[in-house]
A and B are shown apart, each in its own frame.
Chain A
C-alpha cells in the first residue's frame, strides 16, 4: 500500500509518499515561516493563500522524489483538522479532488493522530529488517509496542494520551490554557525576541552567562494531582 499524504493545517504545506504506513519514500514541505515572521504570528488569510500556491508544486515534488507515477498511488490522505479552517480547506479539497481524479480512496486524518503515528515512520534508507508477510497490517520490527503513552506537543496542542492499541486513545491530560508552543510564541513576543518563539528563545538562551546557575525562577507547568498542564503563568 502506497499513500500520497497531504498536510495543510497551518502555515506549512506538506506532501509525502509513504509505503506500508512506515517507509518515507518522499517528504516535501513548503514553509511560510519567514513570511509570518514579520507579523509575529500566523495570519490565517496569508497562510491560506500560500497553501493554495504551494499545493500542486509540493504534490508534484513528492511524487517526483519518490519516483512514482499516479498508477502506483493506492490511496490519498489529508489532514481534516484540527487547524486553521482556511488552510485545512485547501489540502482537504485538493486531496479529495486528487482521489476523485485517480479513482482511489480518500482518507481524512486527524491532525493529532498523525503526530502520534509519525513515530511509526522510518527513512527509506534505514534497514527495514525482515519485511513482514503482510506489510500493511503486521507489526514491523522496530515499531513502537503497545501500550503506549504519547505526549503531543505543538504550536496549538499539549496533550498526554494513553494508547492501549491501534486507533484507541484515552486522553489523560491536557493544557488548561495555552499550548506549549503557544507559550513560547507569546513569551518571545513579550520579550521582543521574534517569531517563531521556540527557536528564538533557544538562541537567546545560548547567549546566557554560563557562570550563573538557574538565573530565572519559572513556574512549573504541571498541575499537581492531575495529568493537566498550565503554561499561562509563564508570561
Chain B
C-alpha cells in the first residue's frame, strides 16, 4: 500500500494506492483519494487527513509499503510540510521513499493527450514555474521534462512554446490570457477545475519503486527553483537588509496545545 501526498500549493492531494510491486500493473488499485483547498494550513490538515484516510480505508501504518511525495516547485512552506511528513514517515518505518517533481505529476495526468504538454504553476511576481514534456509515447518510468524546470513570465513561455502545446496546472486568469492571446489556436488547455491528483503522483512513484529507484530520507530535498529573497546590505550599521529578521519574530505557533498560557504570545 503506497501513501502519496502533494502539498505544493494551496490545493493539496492525498492518495492511498494498493500494489507496490507492479512488475505487473494488474494489482494496482486506487483505494482512496482526497483533493482539497488546504490554503496555508498544510501542517495541520495533511496530518489530520492522512489519519482520516487511513482509518476510513481500514488501513494501518503497518500496511504501508511506500511513501511518495511531491517535491515542488510551489509554496515553500507547503512543500516543506510534505517533505517533513514523507521523510519522517519513511524514516521511522523504514519504508521506500520516492520524491517526484510537482510539474512531472501535473503533466503525467494529461500525458494521454499526446504531443507537447506544458505544466505550469504560478510562481508569483508575474512569473510561472514551467516544464514541457514530450508525450508522443509517454512512459511513467522515464517521465521527465524535455528541457528541465524554469521560472519564466507567461510571455517568455509563449515564445518558448510557439509551435503550440497543451497547457495544464494552476494558471491565473492573466497567465491563461497571455498564453492564449500569443498562441491563438496553438493554445490548448486543461479545464479550469482540473486539479492535481495524488494518484498521478502515485503512478509515477510506483514506476520508480518497481525499479527500486528510491530516495533517502536523510538526503531528499525540495525543488525550490528559487533562491530565498535576500538583499544584503553593503554598508555597515544600516537597518537590517530586506528579508532578514533581526531576531526570531514572535509569530504565532502553527497549531499545537500547551498549558503555558502565561508564556504564550
Contact = CB atoms under 8 A, between A and B. Distances in A.
Contacts of B237: 189-192
Contacts of B243: 43-45
Contacts of A96: 43, 47
A199 interface: no
A98 B249 contact: no
Given A41-B247, A85-B254, A170-B262, A59 B91 contact: yes
B53 to A, nearest CB: 12
A56 B251 contact: no
Interface string B185-196: 000000000000
Looking at chain A's contact residues, the main secondary structure is helix
Contacts of A161: 262-263
Which one of B222, B262, B265 has the highest number of Cβ atoms from chain A below 10 Å of its Cβ? B262
Interface in A26-80: 38-46, 48-49, 51-53, 55-57, 59-60, 70, 80
B83 A52 contact: yes
Contact of B84 (A97, A100, A185): A97
Contacts of A90: 80, 84
Interface string A99-112: 01111000011101
Interface string B224-265: 100011101100110011011111111111111111111111
Contact-residue size bin, chain B (C-beta under 8 Å from the other chain) = 35 or more
A39 to B, nearest CB: 5
B193 to A, nearest CB: 29
B247 A89 contact: no
Contacts of B222: 52
A39 B263 contact: no
Contacts of B80: 48-49, 51-52, 86, 89-90, 93
Given A48-B80, A70-B92, A189-B237, A9 B248 contact: yes
A41 B88 CA distance: 29
B221 interface: yes
Nearest to A88: B254
Given A92-B254, A93-B47, A110 B92 contact: no
B229 A45 contact: yes
Contacts of B259: 110, 113, 167
A156 B224 contact: no
B61 A101 contact: yes
A5 to B, nearest CB: 14
B150 to A, nearest CB: 20
A82 B251 CA distance: 6
Contact of A80 (B89, B247, B258): B258
B50 interface: yes
A40 B145 CA distance: 39
Contacts of A88: 253-254
Interface residues of A, number: 67
A43 B252 contact: no
A43 B244 contact: yes
B52 to A, nearest CB: 12
Given A80-B255, A101-B88, A43 B230 contact: yes
Nearest to B40: A85
Nearest to B253: A81
A21 interface: no
Given A48-B77, A89-B80, A94-B84, 14 more contacts: A38-B232, A49-B80, A52-B222, A56-B218, A81-B253, A84-B248, A84-B251, A91-B84, A94-B85, A108-B257, A156-B248, A169-B260, A189-B236, A191-B237
29 contacts: A39-B232, A39-B241, A42-B244, A44-B249, A45-B76, A45-B243, A55-B88, A80-B254, A82-B251, A82-B264, A83-B248, A83-B253, A89-B42, A89-B43, A96-B43, A98-B91, A100-B47, A101-B88, A102-B93, A108-B256, A108-B257, A110-B260, A110-B264, A113-B258, A156-B249, A167-B259, A169-B263, A170-B262, A192-B237
Interface of B: 42-43, 46-47, 50-51, 61, 76-77, 80-81, 83-85, 87-89, 91-93, 217-218, 221-222, 224, 228-230, 232-233, 236-237, 240-241, 243-265
